[in-house]
């Protein structure tokens, strides 16, 4: 079994470089409460049907703690994508004070 390419939040440049896209594979309610600005939202279960929605180039894949995003990265790498999992997910992202946006009208948070 091939290891999943993984990076911790400390290994992600701040601000994000132009060539790095963010793919959030959480459910809609999680996304609405807080996500990385500019991220593409494709829930994990929709990923196989929505590959055309993915950005070109290297993709940082995120979920709440890193489990679903690891599954997504494993799948994407098999499909030929340059994808890397964010270990610790959005919980570590928020804990590191990295910027997030919300669609709820409330301050962004990870749910």
Distances (CA, A) of 91 to 51, 53, 61, 62, 66: 25, 25, 13, 10, 9
In a domain, 23, yes or no: yes
In a domain, 68, yes or no: yes
Nearest in space to 22 (alpha carbons), one of 68, 75, 61, 69: 61
Query: How far is it, in rounded angstroms, from Cα 54 to Cα 3?
Result: 22
Query: How far is it, in rounded angstroms, from Cα 36 to Cα 48?
Result: 22
In a domain, 36, yes or no: yes
In a domain, 105, yes or no: no
- Looking at residues 11-18, what average pLDDT do you find? 95
**Number of domains making up the chain:** 1
- Looking at residues 15-39, what average pLDDT do you find? 97
User: Tokens 């963010």 label which residue?
Assistant: 22
Convert the pLDDT of each residue in 46-104 to its tens digit.
999 999 999 889 999 999 999 999 999 999 999 999 999 999 999 999 999 999 999 99
What is this structure's pTM? 0.97
Domain that residue 85 falls in: 6-95
Catalytic: which of 62, 63, 76, 86? 63
63 is catalytic: yes
* Per-residue pLDDT at 2: 74
CATH number at residue 53: 3.40.250.10
């Amino acid at each position: 079994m091939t290891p999943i390419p993984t990076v911790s939040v400390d290994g992600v440049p701040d601000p994000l470089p132009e060539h790095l896209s963010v793919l959030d594979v959480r459910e809609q309610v999680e996304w609405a409460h807080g996500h990385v600005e500019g991220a593409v939202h494709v829930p994990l279960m929709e990923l196989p049907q929505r590959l055309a929605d993915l950005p070109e180039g290297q993709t940082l894949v995120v979920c709440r703690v890193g489990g679903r995003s690891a599954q997504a990265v494993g799948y994407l790498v098999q499909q030929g994508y340059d994808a890397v999992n964010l270990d610790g997910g959005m919980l570590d992202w928020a804990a590191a004070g990295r910027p997030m946006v919300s669609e709820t009208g409330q301050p962004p948070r990870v749910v």
